[in-house]
A and B are shown apart, each in its own frame.
Chain A
Amino acid sequence: MHQPQTTPRRSIYYQYKVHPPYLPATPGEVQRADVVVVGAGPVGLATALEMARYGVRCLVLESELQVSEGSRAIVFTRRSMEILQQAGVADRIVAAGLHWRFGNSFFRGERVFRLEAPHDEDDRFQPLTNLQQQYLEEFLVDAVAAQPAIELRWGNRVTAIEPHDEGVRLTVDTPAGPYTLEAGWAVAADGARSPIRSLLGLKLEGDSYEGRFVIADIRIRLDLPTERLAFFDPPWNPGNTVLMHREPGDIWRIDFQLPAGETPEQALQPESLKARIDAQLKMIGVADPQWEMDWCSVYSARAMTLPSYVHGRLCFTGDAAHMLPIFGVRGANTGWQDGQNLAWKLAFVQRGWASPALLDSYSHERVTAAREIIEEAGRSTRFMTPPTAGYRLLRDATLSLALRQDFVRPLLHWRTSRAHDYLDSPLNSAVDDNHLFTGGPVTGGPLRNVRLEDGGFLFDRMEAAFHLLIFIEADTLPEGVTEQVQRLRLGGIPWRVIAVRIRGQGPVPGADLTLSDHNGRIRQRCAVPAAGAAYLVRPDQHVCARWLHLTPHRLQEAAEKALAVDSNPIPSP
Chain B
Amino acid sequence: MPELSTAELELVYDHLAQSLDRVGPERAPLYLTKLALLGAQTLGSVQIFVELSNKAMQDL
The digit string for A41-66, where 1 denotes a CB below 8 A from any CB of B, is 00000000000000000000000000
Cβ 8 A contact of A393, one of B30, B38, B41: B30
In the bound complex, do residue B33 and residue A393 qualify as a contact, i.e. CB atoms below 8 Å apart?
Answer: yes
Interface residues of B in 19-52 (CB under 8 A from A): 29-30, 33-34, 36-38, 41
Question: How many B residues touch the partner, as a band?
Answer: under 10
In the bound complex, do residue A393 and residue B37 qualify as a contact, i.e. CB atoms below 8 Å apart?
Answer: no
Q: How far is the CA of A405 from the CA of B42 in the complex (A)?
A: 12
Residues of the B chain whose Cβ atoms lie less than 8 Å from the Cβ of A405: 38
CB distance from A372 to the nearest CB of B (A): 22
Interface of B is mostly: helix
Nearest chain A residue, comparing its CB with the CB of B35: A397
Nearest chain B residue, comparing its CB with the CB of A397: B33
Residues of the B chain whose Cβ atoms lie less than 8 Å from the Cβ of A69: none
In the bound complex, do residue A408 and residue B33 qualify as a contact, i.e. CB atoms below 8 Å apart?
Answer: no
Nearest chain B residue, comparing its CB with the CB of A394: B33
Nearest chain B residue, comparing its CB with the CB of A390: B33
In the bound complex, do residue A401 and residue B38 qualify as a contact, i.e. CB atoms below 8 Å apart?
Answer: yes
Q: How far is the CA of A521 from the CA of B32 in the complex (A)?
A: 52
A237 close to chain B: CB less than 8 A? no
A396 close to chain B: CB less than 8 A? yes
The digit string for A389-419, where 1 denotes a CB below 8 A from any CB of B, is 0000110111011000101100000000000
In the bound complex, do residue B34 and residue A397 qualify as a contact, i.e. CB atoms below 8 Å apart?
Answer: yes
Nearest chain A residue, comparing its CB with the CB of B36: A397
CB distance from B43 to the nearest CB of A (A): 12
In the bound complex, do residue A397 and residue B41 qualify as a contact, i.e. CB atoms below 8 Å apart?
Answer: no
Nearest chain A residue, comparing its CB with the CB of B41: A407
Q: How far is the CA of A128 from the CA of B30 in the complex (A)?
A: 36
Q: How far is the CA of A397 from the CA of B33 in the complex (A)?
A: 6
In the bound complex, do residue A408 and residue B29 qualify as a contact, i.e. CB atoms below 8 Å apart?
Answer: no
CB distance from A403 to the nearest CB of B (A): 11
Residues of the B chain whose Cβ atoms lie less than 8 Å from the Cβ of A398: 37
Q: How far is the CA of A400 from the CA of B38 in the complex (A)?
A: 12
In the bound complex, do residue A408 and residue B30 qualify as a contact, i.e. CB atoms below 8 Å apart?
Answer: no
Nearest chain A residue, comparing its CB with the CB of B40: A407
Residues of the B chain whose Cβ atoms lie less than 8 Å from the Cβ of A407: 41
Residues of the A chain whose Cβ atoms lie less than 8 Å from the Cβ of B41: 407
Nearest chain A residue, comparing its CB with the CB of B34: A397
Nearest chain B residue, comparing its CB with the CB of A401: B34
CB distance from A239 to the nearest CB of B (A): 12
Q: How far is the CA of A408 from the CA of B34 in the complex (A)?
A: 10
Q: How far is the CA of A70 from the CA of B37 in the complex (A)?
A: 42
Q: How far is the CA of A34 from the CA of B44 in the complex (A)?
A: 60
Of listed A393, A394, A397, A400, residue having the most chain B CB within 10 A:
A397
Q: How far is the CA of A405 from the CA of B29 in the complex (A)?
A: 19
CB distance from B42 to the nearest CB of A (A): 10
In the bound complex, do residue A401 and residue B37 qualify as a contact, i.e. CB atoms below 8 Å apart?
Answer: yes
Q: How far is the CA of A393 from the CA of B32 in the complex (A)?
A: 10
Q: How far is the CA of A407 from the CA of B41 in the complex (A)?
A: 8
Residues of the B chain whose Cβ atoms lie less than 8 Å from the Cβ of A396: 30, 33
Residues of the A chain whose Cβ atoms lie less than 8 Å from the Cβ of B36: 397
Nearest chain B residue, comparing its CB with the CB of A395: B33
CB distance from B38 to the nearest CB of A (A): 7
Nearest chain A residue, comparing its CB with the CB of B29: A393
Interface residues of A in 186-210 (CB under 8 A from B): none
CB distance from B45 to the nearest CB of A (A): 15
CB distance from A391 to the nearest CB of B (A): 11
Q: How far is the CA of A346 from the CA of B30 in the complex (A)?
A: 54
Nearest chain B residue, comparing its CB with the CB of A408: B37
Residues of the A chain whose Cβ atoms lie less than 8 Å from the Cβ of B34: 397, 400-401
Q: How far is the CA of A308 from the CA of B15 in the complex (A)?
A: 57
Residues of the B chain whose Cβ atoms lie less than 8 Å from the Cβ of A397: 30, 33-34, 36-37
CB distance from A399 to the nearest CB of B (A): 10
CB distance from A238 to the nearest CB of B (A): 14
CB distance from B31 to the nearest CB of A (A): 8
Q: How far is the CA of A398 from the CA of B29 in the complex (A)?
A: 13
CB distance from B57 to the nearest CB of A (A): 13
Residues of the A chain whose Cβ atoms lie less than 8 Å from the Cβ of B29: 393
Residues of the A chain whose Cβ atoms lie less than 8 Å from the Cβ of B30: 393, 396-397, 400
Q: How far is the CA of A405 from the CA of B34 in the complex (A)?
A: 11
Q: How far is the CA of A398 from the CA of B40 in the complex (A)?
A: 13
Q: How far is the CA of A407 from the CA of B38 in the complex (A)?
A: 9
Q: How far is the CA of A393 from the CA of B33 in the complex (A)?
A: 7
Residues of the A chain whose Cβ atoms lie less than 8 Å from the Cβ of B38: 401, 405
Residues of the B chain whose Cβ atoms lie less than 8 Å from the Cβ of A408: 37
Residues of the B chain whose Cβ atoms lie less than 8 Å from the Cβ of A401: 34, 37-38
Residues of the A chain whose Cβ atoms lie less than 8 Å from the Cβ of B37: 394, 397-398, 401, 408
Q: How far is the CA of A366 from the CA of B41 in the complex (A)?
A: 36
Nearest chain A residue, comparing its CB with the CB of B31: A397
Q: How far is the CA of A393 from the CA of B36 in the complex (A)?
A: 12
Q: How far is the CA of A397 from the CA of B34 in the complex (A)?
A: 5
Interface residues of A in 406-465 (CB under 8 A from B): 407-408
Counting from the closest, the 10 A-B pairs by CB-CB distance are: A397-B33, A397-B34, A393-B33, A407-B41, A401-B34, A393-B29, A396-B30, A397-B30, A400-B34, A397-B37
A selection of 21 A-B contacts at a CB cut-off of 8 Å is A393-B29, A393-B30, A393-B33, A394-B33, A394-B37, A396-B30, A396-B33, A397-B30, A397-B33, A397-B34, A397-B36, A397-B37, A398-B37, A400-B30, A400-B34, A401-B34, A401-B37, A401-B38, A405-B38, A407-B41, A408-B37
State the A residues within 8 Å of B (CB).
393-394, 396-398, 400-401, 405, 407-408
- In the complex, besides A393-B33, A397-B36, A400-B34, 6 extra interface pairs with C-beta distance below 8 angstroms are A394-B37, A397-B33, A397-B34, A401-B38, A407-B41, A408-B37
